[in-house]
Amino acid sequence: MELNIWRFASPQVIYPIAGRMVPVFMALAALFTLAGLYIAFFVAPTDFQQGESYRIIFIHVPAAWMSMLIYLVMAFWCAVGMIMNTRLSFMMALALAPTGAFMTFIALWTGALWGKPTWGTWWVWDARLTSELILLFLYVGFMSLHAAIDDVRRADRAAGLLALVGVVNVPIIYFSVQWWNTLHQGASVSLTRAPSMASTMLAGMLVMTIAAWMYGIAMSLMRLRTIVLEREADSDWVQELFASPACGAKA
């Protein structure tokens, strides 16, 4: 029997599936977080230059990677929504945005916490820090534009277009900021680490990245479920779901 993937574009179909996936991804996130933190605190050696303070890298780098990946995924769903005219794609993009903004914020926050003991300052106008800050602005812009438009269909499409404009601009902004930084004689501190990184450090970072990834999926799916319910509140299947004695718990 041929599998019809278009079936999964229906909010009604995806709602219970997402409901079953959320606990799985939450469990995976918890598992990988525990494993990652164990490696981070007990297995990975102390850095000979930065001492113990470098260990924040295990939160910082996964958050920074996820912040960029989620923006790309968000823009991808917006593109799918604009091309295929599928409602669920826009719901997915909307569900991803707060998690992406959250990851960006974590990356900036932990970066500041890491910068203080390492460089002696909370913030430098380094290319990567600056472009991460601009990424946060792009997320906030996406969410604000969506929130400001009452008509859901229009809000979806307008915010979707903005995400696509943003994704085209991200490389331009990134390289501009990088060249700007080198033009300004470079910062006195460099983010470049010592080239040889202990393999356990790398392993810890990768495990934490998987944890962040799983967490991101779980959170987005949870948010997707509430968005689906909100938008489909008048439909028969949602009415039925909440009319049952279990009050939606069975899904």
Partner 1 sequence: MNPAHEGRAGLAAVFVSVVQRDLLLAVRRRADVLTSFFFFIIVVSLFPLGVGPEPNTLREIAPGVVWVAALLASMLALQRLLASDYADGTLEQLALSAQPLTLLVLAKILAHWLVTGIPLVLIAPLLGLQFDLPVEGLVAMTAGLLLGTPVLSLVGAIGAALTLGVRGAGGLVALLVLPLYIPVLIFGAGAVSAAVSGQSVEGHMSLLAAFLLFSLAAAPWASAAAIRIAVE
- CB of 96 or CB of 135, closer to partner 1: 135
Judged by DSSP in three states, 173 sits in helix
Please tell me the distance from the alpha carbon of residue 245 to that of residue 127, in angstroms, as a whole number.
Answer: 56
Alpha helices by DSSP H, listed for the chain, are: 11-38, 57-84, 87-119, 127-148, 152-183, 199-231, 236-243
- CB of 172 or CB of 194, closer to partner 1: 172
CB of residue 230 vs partner 1: minimum separation in angstroms?
A: 19
CB of residue 226 vs partner 1: minimum separation in angstroms?
A: 23
Residue with tokens 């102390």: 46
CB of residue 178 vs partner 1: minimum separation in angstroms?
A: 10
Please tell me the distance from the alpha carbon of residue 74 to that of residue 120, in angstroms, as a whole number.
Answer: 36
CB of residue 80 vs partner 1: minimum separation in angstroms?
A: 16
User: How many Cα atoms occupy the beta-carbon half-sphere of 251 within 13 Å?
Assistant: 22
- Site residues for partner 1 per CB under 8 A: 134, 137-138, 140-141, 144-145, 148-150, 154, 157-158, 161-162, 164-166, 168-169, 172-173, 176-177, 179-180, 183
Q: Taking a C-beta distance cutoff of 8 angstroms, is the pair 199, 46 a contact?
A: no
Q: What angle do CA 26, 29, 32 make, to 5 degrees?
A: 150
- CB of 10 or CB of 178, closer to partner 1: 178
CB of residue 249 vs partner 1: minimum separation in angstroms?
A: 37
- CB of 37 or CB of 164, closer to partner 1: 164
Neighbours of 125 (CB within 10 A): 12
CB of residue 177 vs partner 1: minimum separation in angstroms?
A: 7
- CB of 165 or CB of 233, closer to partner 1: 165
Judged by DSSP in three states, 51 sits in strand
Which tokens hold the place of 185?
């004689």
Work out the angle between the directed axes of helices 57-84 and 199-231 (0-180°, nearest 10): 40
- CB of 128 or CB of 157, closer to partner 1: 157
